[in-house]
């Protein structure tokens, strides 16, 4: 049994929720918390949705779960208010100027439809929880070895590409697992996605459990339900999910997901923390044996597969779109790297209420963007003219539209490089400097600050994972030994989800950060000259091959290949995003 498992045996992780109330009442410091409960408490606090900051002692990242990304205007307003009031840096860490771009009191939309805030102090958590309770929000099990936020299509119930609205199923599964002690101590994090959407917006191929729309004849009648994929995931050892020969009726979805969790709970590895994710269990057993184990533990008899209704992969919902109802629109706003001010998020909630119908909502998407729904066509112009809408425009350039960034070294102790500011600067610079073929409206550029995959770099056109890089430059030495250590990254190309899904290839390693944009300029110049008609960037990268890609990158007037990887991060804080 590994150390984390021992900590969970010593005290059930959900018991930490009551402990937080006591720590807050006594205003305990981090040192006092550790003295009272031991160093395992930092792990257990994840079940309360709290991560200790990597570098700022005494402060937490807090993760708010948003099943399927759905927020009522009231819920969105409370989230914005909490960020504005509590996610504030103290003066010793820069106060309102602590971030060059966003300043202070911001929130991050994550790749798992969660909301993260920083600078949270333990004494403020009970007040935040009380305000959340009033509108039906929670941070419980936002982190930890249990079922995480359940993903869904952010346009559930709205869009014509949908077979049926799966949001009620998302809510039911989320409700079953949240605060359920029986399934709150799994071998590792357990990630589910459920969608009735034909375009797999919720990324079933890279989740532990992915339910996608299907149709099957049962007793002479046609029924809609779900097909199942299991064992997908990223980080180290990335794996595309395997199909099971199962059809799950909507009313049996909770029981099916419980049976999968039971299988993982009983058979998953609790010794080696490095290989205890469910994808390793599926890989080890094989999909057929894993299915048998799930069926043995499931209280309902599940039919075999029917007709699959997934048609492809839709990476985002940015832009103005028609809803099913005549005269209504939903608008997808572009939030580069997912970060925005709490006050701005509150204004988005106000706009949904002011310009939408009584059914209006704010929806979070897996690409770190958000939607405002149920907008009558006559109100659209006024909505798009609001200050927040002009800033988070629904018609961005292709690099801004596809930019995703994890927390990075700013707050995450595993983060080797800074990400959020860099992604925003780079996306805007690339939109100015590179002419992308007119029919290409998005280039997916994802940056993770370390080898974890919180920003999902493996499925992007262009993926980065952070490195510290040693370069040969005596004039730029940074220590007595004459080393020049700079931020850099492994540089990957050619990833995608969908019918032609592949993880990208890491084409070049330890590229100094200042060489990346020149290398991309060379790549896109070659792409524009060489692409076949309609060929997307990731398709071109696969076709021409890595040797050609390296040769093109090395034409840049920059030190693309002159670096060597150097070190990584460690400490009390842990990964502060949704890998």
Confidence of residue 118 (pLDDT cuts 50, 70, 90): very high
Q: State the DSSP code for 240.
A: P
Place of tokens 């000259």: 529
Long-range contacts of 484-489 (CB under 8 A, 24+ apart): 485/566, 486/512, 486/513, 486/514, 486/563, 487/416, 487/417, 487/418, 487/512, 487/513, 488/417, 488/512, 488/513, 488/515, 488/563, 489/417, 489/447, 489/464, 489/465, 489/513, 489/516
**CATH code where residue 382 lies:** 3.30.70
Q: Which two tokens stand for residue 150?
A: 């359940």
Residues 154 and 358: their CA atoms lie apart, in Å, by 18
Q: Are residues 285 and 347 in the same domain?
A: no
CB-based burial of residue 537 (10 Å sphere; 0-12 exposed, 13-18 middle, 19+ buried)? buried
State mean pLDDT over 242-247: 98
Q: Are residues 491 and 414 in the same domain?
A: yes
Taking each helix axis as running N to C, give the angle between helix 516-530 and helix 420-433, from 0 to 180 degrees, rounded to the nearest 10.
40
Residues 52 and 43: their CA atoms lie apart, in Å, by 9
Residues 188 and 289: their CA atoms lie apart, in Å, by 20
In a domain, 191, yes or no: yes
Confidence of residue 538 (pLDDT cuts 50, 70, 90): very high
Domain end, chosen from 308, 340, 370, is at: 308
Number of domains in the chain: 3
Strands 362-364, 370-376: pairing kind: antiparallel
User: pLDDT of 303-334, one tens digit each?
Assistant: 999 999 999 998 899 999 999 999 999 999 99
Listed in order, strand segments (DSSP E) in 49-199 are 50-52, 60-64, 70-71, 106-109, 115-120, 192-194
Q: Are residues 173 and 90 in the same domain?
A: yes
In a domain, 576, yes or no: no
Q: Are residues 134 and 270 in the same domain?
A: yes
User: pLDDT of 37-66, one tens digit each?
Assistant: 999 999 999 999 999 987 788 999 999 999
Q: What is the mean pLDDT of the chain?
A: 94
Q: Are residues 351 and 290 in the same domain?
A: no
Does residue 484 have a pLDDT over 90?
A: no
- Least reliable range by pLDDT among 46-55, 66-75, 207-216, 479-488: 479-488
State mean pLDDT over 135-144: 98
Domain end, chosen from 361, 387, 413, is at: 387
Predicted pLDDT at 481: 61
Q: Are residues 224 and 351 in the same domain?
A: no
In a domain, 561, yes or no: no
Q: Are residues 46 and 159 in the same domain?
A: yes
**CATH code where residue 412 lies:** 3.30.413.10
Q: Are residues 410 and 488 in the same domain?
A: yes
In a domain, 566, yes or no: no
Q: Are residues 264 and 326 in the same domain?
A: no
Q: Are residues 113 and 261 in the same domain?
A: yes
User: pLDDT of 400-458, one tens digit each?
Assistant: 999 999 999 999 989 999 999 999 999 999 999 999 999 999 999 999 999 999 999 99
Predicted pLDDT at 565: 77
In a domain, 563, yes or no: no
In a domain, 58, yes or no: yes
User: pLDDT of 549-576, one tens digit each?
Assistant: 999 999 999 989 877 877 644 334 454 4
Q: Are residues 481 and 550 in the same domain?
A: yes
Q: Domain range holding 443?
A: 400-554
Predicted pLDDT at 570: 39
In a domain, 572, yes or no: no
Q: Are residues 329 and 255 in the same domain?
A: no
Q: Residue 341 in 3-state DSSP? A: strand
Q: Residue 222 in 3-state DSSP? A: strand
In a domain, 559, yes or no: no
Residues 107 and 116: their CA atoms lie apart, in Å, by 6
Domain end, chosen from 357, 387, 417, is at: 387
């Amino acid at each position: 049994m590994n150390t984390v498992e021992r900590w969970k045996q010593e005290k059930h992780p959900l018991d930490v929720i009551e402990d937080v109330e006591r720590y807050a009442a006594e205003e305990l410091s981090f040192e006092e918390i550790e003295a009272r409960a031991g160093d395992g408490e930092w792990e257990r606090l994840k079940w309360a949705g709290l991560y200790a900051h990597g570098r700022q002692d005494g402060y937490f990242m807090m993760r708010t779960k948003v099943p399927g990304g759905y927020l009522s205007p009231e819920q969105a307003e409370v989230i914005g208010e909490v960020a504005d009031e509590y996610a504030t840096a103290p003066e010793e860490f820069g106060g309102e100027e602590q971030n060059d771009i966003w300043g202070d009191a911001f929130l991050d939309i994550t790749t798992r439809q969660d909301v993260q805030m920083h600078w949270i102090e333990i004494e403020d958590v009970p007040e935040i929880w009380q305000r959340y309770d009033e509108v039906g929000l929670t941070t419980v099990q936002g982190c930890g070895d249990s079922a995480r936020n359940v993903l869904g299509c952010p346009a559930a119930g709205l869009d014509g590409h949908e077979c049926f609205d799966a949001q009620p199923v998302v809510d039911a599964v989320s409700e079953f697992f949240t605060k359920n002690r029986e399934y709150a101590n799994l071998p590792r994090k357990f990630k589910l996605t459920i969608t009735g959407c034909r375009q797999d917006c919720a990324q079933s191929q890279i989740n532990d459990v992915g339910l996608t729309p299907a149709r099957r004849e049962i007793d002479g009648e046609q029924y809609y339900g779900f097909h199942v994929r299991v064992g997908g995931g990223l980080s180290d050892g990335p794996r595309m999910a395997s199909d099971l020969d199962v059809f799950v009726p909507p009313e049996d979805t909770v029981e099916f997901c419980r049976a999968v969790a039971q299988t993982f709970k009983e058979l998953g590895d609790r010794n080696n923390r490095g290989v205890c994710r469910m994808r390793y269990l599926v890989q080890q057993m094989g999909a057929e044996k894993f299915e048998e184990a799930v069926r043995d533990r499931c209280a309902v008899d599940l039919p075999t597969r029917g007709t699959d209704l997934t048609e492809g992969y839709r990476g985002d919902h940015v832009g103005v779109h028609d809803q099913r109802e005549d005269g209504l629109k939903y608008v997808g706003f572009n939030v580069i790297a997912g970060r925005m001010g709490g006050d701005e998020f509150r204004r988005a909630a106000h706009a949904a209420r002011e310009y939408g119908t009584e059914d209006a909502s704010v929806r979070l998407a897996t690409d770190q963007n958000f939607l405002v729904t149920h907008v009558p066509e006559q109100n659209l112009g006024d909505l798009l003219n609001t200050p927040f809408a002009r800033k988070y425009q629904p018609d961005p350039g292709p690099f801004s539209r596809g930019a995703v960034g994890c927390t990075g070294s700013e707050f995450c102790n595993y983060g080797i490089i800074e990400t959020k500011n860099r992604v925003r600067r780079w996306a805007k610079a690339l939109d100015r400097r590179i002419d992308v073929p007119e029919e290409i409206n998005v280039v997916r550029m994802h940056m993770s600050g370390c080898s974890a995959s919180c920003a999902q770099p493996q499925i992007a056109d262009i993926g980065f994972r952070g490195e510290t890089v040693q370069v040969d430059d005596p004039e730029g030495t940074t220590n007595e030994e004459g080393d020049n250590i700079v931020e850099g990254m492994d540089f990957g190309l050619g990833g995608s989800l969908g019918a032609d899904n592949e993880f990208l290839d890491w084409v070049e390693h330890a590229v100094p950060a200042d060489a990346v944009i020149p290398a991309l300029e060379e790549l896109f110049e070659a792409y524009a000259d060489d692409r076949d008609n309609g060929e997307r960037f990731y398709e071109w990268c696969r076709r021409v091959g890595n040797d050609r890609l390296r040769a093109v990158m090395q034409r840049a007037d920059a030190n693309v290949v002159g670096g060597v990887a150097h070190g990584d991060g460690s400490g009390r804080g842990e990964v502060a995003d949704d890998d």
